[in-house]
Amino acid sequence: MKLTRESLLDGSLHAAVRAQLGDQVQLMSDAERGAQVRQMLDRAPLRDRVWVFAFGSLIWNPAFHFAERRTARVHGYHRQFCLSLYAGRGSPERPGLMLSLESGGSCTGVIYRLAPGTEGAELDVLWRREMLTHAYRPVWVWAQTPTGREPAIAFAANRTHERYAPDLDEDTVAERLATGTGTLGRCCDYLFDTVAHLQQLGIRDRRLESLVVRVRQRLGAA
């Protein structure tokens, strides 16, 4: 299975997660999703433009439509593997890890501008992807771009969620990334693709690059 705009809109991704985890996982309802999107738009710092900040797989597979893309840095948050994965690129038997934003430091990634008039529809697609299990906490941030600051929606870790896994040591993170796998594929490929696309943009994340080395060593020894 692939994570695409179509699999988000036709409900097949939702169904796959439900089939894998059953009733033990709480999934966001249509009503909850619509209410959250409206609340985020109501709190927009600037009403004439809405951007989305990407720090992981949204960089190379956004799934939503956008009008413009720029590299950007967000201060006050850093990229970290701190959310356990039991579906998608993980399973209950072979759990993986997912990136999120944690407080402190800064993070360089990409921001996408949504075309005026499409914000509600495109954020609905984004919410189906990022907020399916409530593991993220959507926040407004200011993103510094080569041409100035822009307001963007970003996804920080929901520290009250059962999947939140803070303060994992590097060996544990590398092991989970090397062994995690699920219906969307291997967790290690999520790491490899993220680092490769960051480097294509001229962005260096030395912690992730170090994890690539550790994970490849584990895969080679398997």
- The catalytic residue among 119, 130, 150, 162 is 130
119 is catalytic: no
Runs of H (alpha helix) within 102-162: 119-130
DSSP strand E in 45-158: where?
50-54, 68-85, 96-114, 136-145, 148-157
**How many whole angstroms separate alpha carbon 39 and alpha carbon 115?**
19
Cα-to-chain-centroid distance, residue 29: 19
Give the separation between CA 213 and CA 220, rounded to whole angstroms. 11
Q: Residue 160, class by beta-carbon neighbours within 10 Å (0-12 exposed, 13-18 middle, 19+ buried)?
A: exposed
Coil/strand/helix, residue 107? strand
Amino acid at 143: A
Catalytic positions: 130
